[in-house]
Every structure is written in structure tokens, then in C-alpha cells.
């Protein structure tokens, strides 16, 4: 399925979990894919080798998405290599959970910088190129926590809710340049975190979900692939909850 043949994509935080699934989905759909990572050099090299062994064009960059200079340098390098940038997926993120009364200022600042400031950095850098092209897709990976909140995650929820407000504003700013900006808000996904749950915790979790299971990373990636395609040219400023019905 070559929905994205000839397109150039950049995915932040692309070496594991949802990010890795997105990188693979976009590449399989025909896009040239660049991805960033912060620490997992060996994992990044393995992913890069895997993509190239399948005949896909790919680049990797070790960069801190919360750094404006590093973010701009990544975008510049992608455009220098492939002359354009059609798709940006802002996926980089982390959690530092804790009740507000126990949350350190450092944990608040780090989550906001990694999850939200990174979105400002990459979107600003990428949108310059997209505006000159008069086309582009910007997709944010938020969370249902940014929609409904969650005790013990005030920093994470604030960052993910901020991403939604930012996206709606940028969608209005960039719409006249044929740039679509949308948000994917996953629910509970099969990642390292959910894999660590014991059977009782997993049962309690899935009982809350109408579809009675957690999502596979590939199911999130499939929605991103759709939003990155020409099929989504008339969709902008939207939040798509991929959560098995949890937030109904």
C-alpha cells in the first residue's frame, strides 16, 4: 500500500513503542522516513538497518526535541537530504508521574519541555518548509489523558492537553497554506508499561474499555498513516481518540 509514495516524513521519538510503529507504517506506505531518538543509539541503528534492508530510504538523528537548536538542525538536515518535508509526527514524550503535592519542579519542567516545548520547536521549524511548499501534514501524538485528565499525571495531562490547544491554533494559522494539523489521542496501548502489569491489574484495566483490550501500537500507527495521506486532505484541527471507546 503506497499511500505515501514520494513523501518525506519526520517522526520524533521513533525507536520504540508507538513511535517505532509509526516509522514502520509510514515507510511501508512508501514514505522516506527520518526519525529522532535521544539515548537508544543501538536500537536506532537496528531500526535504520531494518528499514534499509527492505529498500526504504531512512535517516536517524540523535537529538533532544526540547532543544530549539537541535530541532531546527534536524529539520534542516532532512530538507537538505530530501529537498522537502511533507509529514511531521510529534511523538517524543515521557512521563514522570506523581501526585501534585509530591511532584518536584524538576519533574514538572522536564515533562513540559519534552512533551510540549518539543512540539513548538519541531512544528515551528517544519512549518517554514511546509509553507514554502504550500502543503504538509502535522500530526501530534497526544493522549486521552490530555482529554479527560488522570490523577497522578498532572504534568503529563497538562502537556498533552496543551498539545491539543496548540494544534487547533496552528491548524487555523496554517490552513490557508494547505497544511493540515491533527491530533491522535491514544488510550491504553501495549507497550513496556502495560506489559509490566500483573494479571489482576490488566483485568481491571481492560474491564474499563468497551472493546475489552488494549491497543496494539500498529493500530495507532494506522490512524497516523491515514492522517498523513491525501485521503485526509480535508481534515484539520481534529482530535482522534484511539482508545477502544474508553472516553465515550
Active site residues: 156
Q: Cβ(33)–Cβ(19) under 8 Å?
A: no
Name 143's Cβ contacts closer than 8 Å, sequence gap at least 6.
Answer: 156, 157, 160, 185, 186
DSSP H helices in the chain: 17-28, 41-53, 68-82, 105-112, 118-133, 145-148, 154-174, 192-195, 199-207, 217-228
Name 47's Cβ contacts closer than 8 Å, sequence gap at least 6.
Answer: 14, 15, 20, 23, 35, 58, 60
Grid cell listed for 19 = 513511535
Burial class (CB in 10 A: 0-12, 13-18, 19+), 90: buried
Q: Cβ(217)–Cβ(189) under 8 Å?
A: yes
In the block, residue with C-alpha cell 490547544: 165
Cα–Cα distances in Å, from 93 out to 17, 87, 177? Answer: 11, 18, 28
Amino acid at each position: 500500500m503506497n499511500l505515501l509514495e514520494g513523501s518525506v516524513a519526520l517522526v520524533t521519538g521513533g525507536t520504540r513503542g508507538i513511535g517505532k510503529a509509526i516509522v514502520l507504517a509510514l515507510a511501508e506506505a512508501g514514505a522516506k522516513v527520518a526519525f529522532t531518538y535521544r539515548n537508544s543509539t543501538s536500537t536506532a541503528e537496528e531500526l535504520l538497518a531494518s528499514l534499509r534492508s527492505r529498500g526504504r530510504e531512512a535517516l536517524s538523528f540523535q537529538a533532544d526535541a526540547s532543544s530549539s537548536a537541535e530541532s531546527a538542525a534536524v529539520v534542516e538536515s532532512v530538507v537538505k537530504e530530501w529537498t522537502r518535508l511533507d509529514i511531521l509526527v510529534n511523538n517524543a514524550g515521557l512521563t514522570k508521574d506523581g501526585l501534585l503535592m509530591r511532584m518536584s519542579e524538576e519533574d514538572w519542567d522536564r515533562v513540559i519541555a519534552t512533551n510540549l516545548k518539543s512540539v513548538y520547536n519541531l512544528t515551528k521549524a517544519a512549518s517554514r518548509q511546509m509553507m514554502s511548499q504550500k502543503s504538509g501534514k502535522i500530526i501530534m501524538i497526544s493522549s486521552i489523558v490530555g482529554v479527560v485528565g488522570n490523577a497522578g499525571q498532572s504534568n503529563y495531562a497538562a502537556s498533552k492537553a496543551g498539545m491539543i490547544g496548540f494544534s487547533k491554533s496552528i491548524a487555523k494559522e496554517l490552513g490557508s497554506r494547505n497544511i493540515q494539523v491533527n491530533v491522535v489521542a491514544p488510550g491504553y496501548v501495549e507497550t513496556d508499561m502495560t506489559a509490566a502489569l500483573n494479571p489482576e491489574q490488566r483485568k481491571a484495566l481492560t474491564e474499563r474499555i468497551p472493546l475489552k483490550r488494549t491497543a496494539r501500537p500498529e493500530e495507532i500507527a494506522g490512524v497516523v498513516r491515514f492522517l498523513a495521506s491525501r485521503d485526509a486532505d480535508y481534515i484539520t484541527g481534529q482530535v482522534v481518540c484511539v482508545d477502544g471507546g474508553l472516553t465515550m
